């Protein structure tokens, strides 16, 4: 029996599953945003809770130099998971707001870099930097609008990404 060499063709099905899952979640976010966000937050809370318990067990089993960090990570995971599972609506809003702030911060950093590069070299880069700063400021000063729009934007990106991953996986298979 001939073995297939490890390479692109041997993992096409992983990309296909990832692409289809991303596509389904993206469509669900677009069609039923509130229920899908609620479900994803519940799954994240459950993951954090289970991961926290596993980290504490690992800390005692392995008992390495990072024992304290494993215990701390486990406790934070358990507490975070419990809070998310107990208060899913509040947790969801906080998580989405935190994600919006991270996106705004990244936009400011990238905008600043583009502005500096644009002043040295390219008008296009300068305009891009200014646009990134405007978007970042909009995200910061309109947090409710940003939080409400974020699941839809993520849904659109997941649909596009899911279609692309599915197409790539099918092309690798051939």
Output the pLDDT for position 4: 47
Answer yes or no: is 34 within a domain. yes
Is the pLDDT at 164 greater than 90, yes or no?
A: yes
Report, as an integer, the average pLDDT of 100-110.
92
**Predicted TM-score (pTM) above 0.75:** no
Is the pLDDT at 1 greater than 50, yes or no?
A: no
User: What's the whole-number average pLDDT of the chain?
Assistant: 88
Report, as an integer, the average pLDDT of 79-83.
94
Residue 127's alpha-carbon distances to 19, 114, 133, 150, in angstroms, are 34, 8, 10, 24
Q: Which range marks the domain in which residue 155 is found? A: 14-169
Structural domain count, the chain:
1
Answer yes or no: is 144 within a domain. yes
Q: Are the beta carbons of 108 and 130 closer than 8 angstroms?
A: no
DSSP state of 87: S
Answer yes or no: is 54 within a domain. yes
Report, as an integer, the average pLDDT of 64-87.
92
Answer yes or no: is 8 within a domain. no
Is residue 5 within a helix (H) or strand (E), and if so which, with residue range? none
Answer yes or no: is 63 within a domain. yes
Report, as an integer, the average pLDDT of 81-92.
89
C-alpha span between 172 and 65 (Å, rounded) = 43
Answer yes or no: is 90 within a domain. yes
Residue 7's alpha-carbon distances to 11, 37, 173, in angstroms, are 7, 36, 11
* Half-sphere exposure (Cβ direction) of 66: Cα atoms closer than 13 Å: 8
Output the pLDDT for position 145: 87
Is the pLDDT at 21 greater than 90, yes or no?
A: yes
Output the pLDDT for position 143: 82
Answer yes or no: is 6 within a domain. no
**Better-scored residue on pLDDT, 141 or 121:** 141
Is the pLDDT at 26 greater than 80, yes or no?
A: yes
Answer yes or no: is 128 within a domain. yes
Phi, psi of 142 (to 5 degrees): -130, 60
């Amino acid at each position: 029996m001939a073995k297939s060499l490890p390479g692109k063709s041997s993992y096409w099905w992983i990309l296909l599953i990832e692409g289809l899952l991303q596509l389904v979640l993206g469509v669900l976010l677009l069609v039923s945003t509130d229920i899908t966000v609620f479900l994803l937050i519940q799954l994240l809370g459950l993951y954090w809770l289970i991961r926290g318990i596993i980290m504490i067990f690992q800390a005692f089993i392995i008992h390495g130099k990072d024992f304290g960090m494993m215990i701390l990570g486990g406790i934070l995971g358990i507490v975070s998971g419990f809070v998310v599972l107990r208060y899913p609506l509040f947790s969801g809003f906080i998580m989405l707001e935190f994600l919006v702030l991270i996106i705004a911060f990244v936009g400011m950093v990238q905008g600043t870099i583009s502005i500096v590069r644009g002043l040295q070299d390219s008008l296009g880069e300068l305009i891009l930097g200014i646009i990134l700063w405007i978007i970042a400021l909009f995200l910061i000063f309109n947090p409710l609008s940003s939080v409400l729009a974020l699941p839809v934007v993520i849904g659109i990106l997941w649909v596009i990404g899911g279609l692309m991953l599915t197409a790539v996986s099918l092309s690798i298979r051939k």
